[in-house]
Structure 1
């Protein structure tokens, strides 16, 4: 085995450009509206590529009019294009993952009895012992559950730790010494989200994406991508971090499917911002997931690449974010452009049909920046609905003409179908939408909700 390569992000980025024979890329727009090179926020200039790829038309131009044509012909075409040009392919020889329990103990959450279990999913690194890719996870289950619980796997960016208790209270004398203080987010937004879910009888699995794939270009020869490549740089069609994080969520679902206390037919995935992108990618590529809560995902998630509003393709192809994507994606930051992409965000959302997808955003004045393009994401969700209707499910119920779609005001929810949209009045989080998500999902699962 060759020695693992150690690159900076700039060196890895240059290596991929060399493989693609690209000399230069167009610079990404500045998110600061006062900067001279700021992103476009003028709706009159936001749609330079108004003709989006048709979800229900095959690459050869033939219309898709039946579910069989979708499953056997059109959907595989869309998946192949996303793998080749956007997110990359997961290699066939990814190492197997073995799960073990590190520690488990009974706890309380706002008076609710729970059981917290610290887990590690170890990816077999015998072929490259110098590289590790272990999935750090925390399973939290309601202690009183008498039936298998629906589950939400949540991408969390903090190291997975757990104390007793979740809120500052006198610490019991019998706390497992292996349990360090719980992630700080659990004391704020995370705590509120856990209350909604666990209080309604759901289980939660928190996974730390950075534990098995770093969120930077320098990490591409390490983590699960580097382990699979035995420490060597990626090829243009290899997977990026978004696909790797989705792989980790799928391995967590493998584990949950072995537990009798989990309703394996009703497992969802959740994430915000870059992890909202990863949650949507997870839903698109792993059909075992029943539902997804996609929070403020922006470019590379629910925002169309073809929209010139806020963050753009050129931002994703620069040194700071290119590692999320396949190497081939760099081509669309120069010499090609967003209009040359064979697929776009509305088709990514459509890959989840007819399962449950809840697209969540906040408002710019509270910190969910215009950079994310809430209007464009709504347009993509509207367009995606044609796949739900073809498959006999309900979409947003507003038609599928993305060109004329106008985003409803905040708190005007579109949640009658399996595809849902809700813009809350908070910032860059999905916490204010969690209660609505739980009630909506419960209804589709035939459960009586108790979430407030």
Structure 2
């Protein structure tokens, strides 16, 4: 009861803080003529000023520099993988979805103990596959049971953000939650194209609220005598990305999955996460950002829509504490998000925007891809091949992909169609 009271008190405090922040938020800028003047940090110049003109210099010097800056100033440094993880297949059905799929649920115990923290993977694979299949991996917002209306999927008992439309009552899922987010997960289309899907509830790794990092995986790695991460250590987005890598650790043991062809995909804050996961972990063969915006694919220096001021105050747990130094001082940032996209090179990367999602700054997302292209070119790929934003619903697909579609902040069948086509382009024959 004491723990329940503590969590409730934290949540009430967090809600009050959130309301105060919303009332004090600066009015967002949606006028391109009011974008402040800025100069992006140089991608292909080392911290000592040396021009990066070879792949060797990129890999040995510049890439590690950029990665280190994102670790210390934006997302926070993450710990090494646990040494004693335990994987347990808790359910398997070989004729799910009317015989179309193999459905598996797998628990990943981070400490190797079933009494410790865990995350649950929901895996769909084509039932007729005769060899290991490539998969899309993604975090979800309200539990694995929300991506398909299937009573046999384990109903999550973890904390959830309040959302009546998703069947969340008192921050917990109910039976009404089943299938509530199915429209965002084109499971049958994915299976029909020969791919599998791996879904994970982000709250299994770290609950999405500012609790001082007392729940989730953070307490497992606190420094001696410390109750929270240091200013340059992992926030929640970094913890989610770390969890995606631990899921990939499991996939490397699953003979039904082609673990060398795993595409990591995320939407919104989970799109920020997929980019950071793909930047750090080069085992991810393809990286997809869907409407990820500020702290994701959008350039911070544009200050268009959501800004560092808003995101760090409304969601102080997402990034490391050092990121607060750059509130209203974006030009002081030693990195910007084009550099995050470049860290994925030379692997395929796809960034998607939506016309009505101005908060996420579609043009800023496009510009990050554009300004990351020199690294892709340096490493011998086809790059991006575009200088101007494409027309709506006219995707660009080379080694780097981008589209802006009609509609709002969401994941749609149109988005999945592009991601599947992009995966076909880069995975077939590999």
Q: TM-score, normalised by structure 1?
A: 0.81
**Where does the alignment leave 5 or more consecutive residues of structure 1 unmatched?**
13-26, 400-405
Q: Which residue of 2 aligns with 1:317?
A: 312
Give the 3 Å change call, closer, same or farther, for CA 288–44 of structure 1 in structure 2.
same
Q: Counterpart of 2:374 in 1: which secondary structure?
A: helix
Q: Counterpart of 2:75 in 1: which secondary structure?
A: coil
Q: Which residue of 1 aligns with 2:107?
A: 120
Asked whether the equivalents of residues 240 and 324 of structure 1 are also in contact (C-alpha less than 8 Å), the reply is: yes
Q: Counterpart of 1:346 in 2: which secondary structure?
A: helix
Please state how far the C-alpha of 1:69 moved relative to its aligned partner: 0.5
Q: Determine whether 1:443 maps to 2:430.
A: no
Q: Which residue of 1 aligns with 2:332?
A: 340
Q: Which residue of 1 aligns with 2:237?
A: 242
Asked whether the equivalents of residues 144 and 199 of structure 2 are also in contact (C-alpha less than 8 Å), the reply is: yes
Deviates more, 1:262-271 or 1:216-225: 216-225
Structure showing greater relative contact order (alpha-carbon pairs closer than 8 Å, 6 or more residues apart): 1
1:52 alignment partner, one of 25, 40, 55: 40
Please state how far the C-alpha of 1:219 moved relative to its aligned partner: 5.3
Q: Could you tell me how far apart the structure 2 residues matched to 1:437 and 1:227 are?
A: 35
Q: Which residue of 2 aligns with 1:373?
A: 361
Give the 3 Å change call, closer, same or farther, for CA 75–137 of structure 1 in structure 2.
same
Q: 1:366-399: per-residue Cα shift (whole Å, max 9, x none)? A: xxx2111001111111001111100001122025
Q: Could you tell me how far apart the structure 2 residues matched to 1:362 and 1:394 are?
A: 25
1:64 alignment partner, one of 46, 52, 71: 52
Asked whether the equivalents of residues 362 and 430 of structure 1 are also in contact (C-alpha less than 8 Å), the reply is: no
Larger helix percent: 2
Q: Could you tell me how far apart the structure 2 residues matched to 1:202 and 1:182 are?
A: 28
Q: Which residue of 2 aligns with 1:215?
A: 208
Q: Which residue of 2 aligns with 1:420?
A: 401
Q: Determine whether 1:145 maps to 2:129.
A: yes
Q: Which residue of 2 aligns with 1:330?
A: 324
Q: Could you tell me how far apart the structure 2 residues matched to 1:182 and 1:58 are?
A: 53
Q: 1:8-58: per-residue Cα shift (whole Å, max 9, x none)? A: 48999xxxxxxxxxxxxxx9788xxxx994111111111332x10011111
Please state how far the C-alpha of 1:240 moved relative to its aligned partner: 0.6
Asked whether the equivalents of residues 270 and 292 of structure 1 are also in contact (C-alpha less than 8 Å), the reply is: yes
Matches within 5 A, 1:1-150: 8=10, 37-49=26-38, 51-92=39-80, 96-109=84-97, 111=98, 113-124=100-111, 132-150=116-134
Asked whether the equivalents of residues 102 and 125 of structure 2 are also in contact (C-alpha less than 8 Å), the reply is: yes
Q: 1:233-263: per-residue Cα shift (whole Å, max 9, x none)? A: 2210110111110111101111111111111
Asked whether the equivalents of residues 149 and 182 of structure 2 are also in contact (C-alpha less than 8 Å), the reply is: no
Please state how far the C-alpha of 1:86 moved relative to its aligned partner: 0.5
2:260 alignment partner, one of 262, 265, 275: 265
Q: Determine whether 1:308 maps to 2:303.
A: yes
Give the 3 Å change call, closer, same or farther, for CA 60–9 of structure 1 in structure 2.
farther
Q: 1:41-85: per-residue Cα shift (whole Å, max 9, x none)? A: 111111332x10011111111110110000001000000100110
Q: 1:393-429: per-residue Cα shift (whole Å, max 9, x none)? A: 1122025xxxxxx4222112111x2110011223222
Q: Could you tell me how far apart the structure 2 residues matched to 1:211 and 1:234 are?
A: 19
Asked whether the equivalents of residues 137 and 206 of structure 1 are also in contact (C-alpha less than 8 Å), the reply is: yes
CA RMSD between the two structures: 3.1
Please state how far the C-alpha of 1:94 moved relative to its aligned partner: 5.0
| Number of matched pairs | 400
Q: Could you tell me how far apart the structure 1 residues matched to 2:82 and 2:316 are?
A: 22
Please state how far the C-alpha of 1:430 moved relative to its aligned partner: 3.0
Asked whether the equivalents of residues 294 and 308 of structure 2 are also in contact (C-alpha less than 8 Å), the reply is: yes
Q: Determine whether 1:297 maps to 2:292.
A: yes
Q: Which residue of 2 aligns with 1:403?
A: none
**Where does the alignment leave 5 or more consecutive residues of structure 2 unmatched?**
15-19, 157-173
Q: Could you tell me how far apart the structure 1 residues matched to 2:140 and 2:336 are?
A: 26
Q: Could you tell me how far apart the structure 1 residues matched to 2:121 and 2:106 are?
A: 5
Q: Could you tell me how far apart the structure 2 residues matched to 1:376 and 1:119 are?
A: 38
